[in-house]
A and B are shown apart, each in its own frame.
Chain A
C-alpha cells in the first residue's frame, strides 16, 4: 500500500477542480492556532500520516474543538501520542448530510466511480452505486438517484434538499482524474458533507501504485 501524502493529494485534486476547503496541514502549534482563527471555530484536528489508515479508531481525530485554548491542549496531546506523522491537519467542522464518493479500478472495465451515503449506509447496508468512467452529467445524476436511501438527500425530516449539482460535479471531476492519473489505484472521499448550498470534503485517502 502507498498512501499519498497531504500536500501531493491536494496538488493532485486541484488539477481537477476538486477543492478541499478550509483545511490545511502544519507542523507547528502556532500555525495551527493561527489557521483555526482564520477559518473560525469549531474546528477538528487530525493527525495526518501514511502510517495511520483508520484515523478515528486510533484516536487520531478530535472533533468539535470550540476555542483556541482547547485547540492548544488537543494539539499537545496528539503531538505527543503520534510521533511519526506528516503533520497536523486543521479543518473547519463541516455540517450537512454525510456521503461517500470514491474511485477504483475494475479489471474488466477500468476506472470506476462510486457513490453512497456515509456511516451505516455504506458500512452495513452497502447501499452504493457505480459507474464506469468517463461519466456524463446524466450518468452522475442517475447514479446519485439509484441508491435505495436517496430520499435522505431530499427534503427529509425538516432538512432541505442538498445541492445535487455540486455532488454531480465532484463525481465528474473524479471521473476525469481517474482516466488521466494512471498511477492512482483508488480514492475515497469519506466523509463528504453536503447541505443545500455547498459540498465539503472532510477526509480523503488516495492509494497510488507502489513504484509511482
Chain B
C-alpha cells in the first residue's frame, strides 16, 4: 500500500511555485530531477519552470499515483478532497498548521477525507527514495544510495543527516519525514521497510510514539528481520491517578520508552552521532555474538578498551595462543598484526575484532589497513578499526573505509558500537 508513495509513476505537486527559496519551488525543482511524470498544480500560475500548470488536480487527464500538497493549511482539506475525487493512490501533506498547532479538528477532517488513501504527514519534509532518484521533499539534495532507511519525526534532523553523510561512505535507501502521523504511522513505515529489498538497517529519530502497543508489536517482529536503531528525545507522561502507587510515580520518566525498546529488540542510542555511526556499522556488518578480540600496538589502548568493554558486559575471551588484548608491541610491523588477527579470527568464541593502531616509528598503517581488509573478507567476522591519530593515518583510514570497514578513532565510541552490534543468544 505504500508502494505508490515511494514508487509512483505520476506525481502531482499542488502548491508548486517558481519563487526562489520557498518550499513550493524547492519541492518542484527536486521533483524535476526524477524521471517521473510530474504535474504542477497552482491555482494562480500559468507556467512554472516553463511547464504547463493546472488549476486543480481534477484538471489533469492522466491518472495520478502520488499527490504532494504544500498549500496554506486553511485550504489543505479542500485540496485533499479533490485528491480523493481524483482517486490518487497516495498523498503527502507537507503543510503545517494541524495538531502540532492545536488544530486537532483540521487534522481529524484531513484524516477522514483521506481515510482510504495512504497519507504521509501533515507537517513534514516529505520522503526520499534513492533507488529511483525521487526527492519528494524540500530536503536540499538527495543523498547517496545505500542500505540505511531513516525515519524521522524532525525534518531538520533529516536535512543535517543528509549533509553529514555527504562526505561519508554509507548511503540511504529511503528517508521519511513522518510528521504528525495522521494517516500512516511509524509502525506502518517499519512494516514496509522490513520487506524493502534496498533496506538493511532502519534508523529512527522520535520524540514520541503515537500508538505504543502497535509499535511494540510491529517493532518486535521487524527487529528479528532487520536491526532497528532509535534515538528518542523527550519524556513520557503518565496518568495522574497512577502516581498514588510507587509503580505509578516511578514510571513517570523515559524509563518506559527504554524498556519498550529492549522488549522489542530495538537498539537505543543517545546522540545523532551514535545513531549514524551505529547505522553505518550495521550497514557494513552483520550482528555478532558476544566475544571480542583486541589487537593493539600500545598497551594503554588495550587497557582502555578492556575497561570500556567490561563496563558494557562484553566478553574478552582468553586466546588459545596468547593474551587478549594482544599487544603486538610498538615495534610491530604489519605482519605481526596479521598473525595475531588470524589467530583471533579462527577462534570460535571470538566473534568480532577491535584492531587498534597508534603511531610509532615502525608502524605500517597502510599495510595494516590492507591486512584488515583482506582478513575481514576471508573470515567474514566484523572488524572495527581504530587508527588512533590524525594526519598520519589518513590513507589507512580511507583504505579500510573504502572497503566498508568502519574506522572509529575514539576507542570508547568503537567499544560502544561493538556493544550495539552484539546480541545474546
Contact = CB atoms under 8 A, between A and B. Distances in A.
Contacts of A104: 238, 242, 245, 247-248, 251
A114 B251 CA distance: 8
A129 B245 contact: no
A186 B244 contact: yes
Nearest to B241: A185
A114 B250 contact: yes
B260 interface: yes
29 contacts: A53-B244, A100-B246, A102-B248, A103-B247, A104-B248, A104-B251, A106-B256, A107-B236, A107-B238, A107-B239, A109-B216, A109-B260, A110-B213, A112-B247, A112-B256, A114-B246, A128-B255, A131-B259, A131-B263, A132-B256, A143-B259, A185-B248, A186-B244, A186-B248, A187-B245, A187-B247, A190-B246, A205-B245, A207-B248
A209 B239 CA distance: 12
A126 interface: yes
B72 interface: no
Contacts of A142: 262
Contacts of A130: 251, 255-256, 259
Interface string A136-161: 00010011001000000000000000
B256 A108 contact: yes
B321 interface: no
Contacts of B250: 114, 116, 122, 126, 128
Contacts of A114: 246-247, 250-251
A185 to B, nearest CB: 5
Given A108-B236, A109-B216, A112-B251, A186 B242 contact: yes
A203 to B, nearest CB: 11
B322 interface: no
A166 to B, nearest CB: 20
What's the interface size class on B, roughly?
Answer: 20 to 34
A32 to B, nearest CB: 28
B208 interface: yes
Interface string B233-275: 0001111011011111011000110011011000000000000
A106 B250 CA distance: 11
A120 interface: no
Q: Which of B209, B247, B255 has the most CB of A within 10 A?
A: B247
Nearest to A188: B245
B389 interface: no
A17 B155 CA distance: 50
B64 to A, nearest CB: 36
Given A106-B251, A129-B259, 20 more contacts: A102-B245, A102-B247, A104-B242, A105-B239, A106-B212, A106-B236, A107-B237, A108-B237, A109-B216, A110-B212, A112-B247, A112-B251, A112-B259, A114-B247, A130-B255, A132-B259, A139-B263, A186-B244, A188-B246, A207-B245
A60 B256 CA distance: 34
Given A114-B250, A126-B250, A108 B245 contact: no
Given A109-B216, A130-B256, A122 B246 contact: yes
Interface of B: 208-209, 212-213, 216, 236-239, 241-242, 244-248, 250-251, 255-256, 259-260, 262-263
Nearest to A136: B263
Contacts of A110: 212-213
Contact of B247 (A109, A132, A139, A186): A186
A109 B242 CA distance: 14
A128 B245 CA distance: 14
A7 B262 CA distance: 37
Contacts of A205: 245
A211 to B, nearest CB: 12
Nearest to A102: B247
A109 B250 CA distance: 15
B241 A207 contact: yes
Contact of B256 (A1, A109, A188): A109
A185 B249 CA distance: 12
Contact of B212 (A100, A109, A122, A126): A109
Q: Which of A104, A185, A207 has the most CB of B within 10 A?
A: A104
A207 B212 CA distance: 23
Contacts of B263: 131-132, 139
A207 B242 contact: yes
Interface in A20-73: 53
Nearest to B264: A132
Contacts of A185: 239, 241-242, 244, 248
B244 A207 contact: yes
Nearest to A108: B212
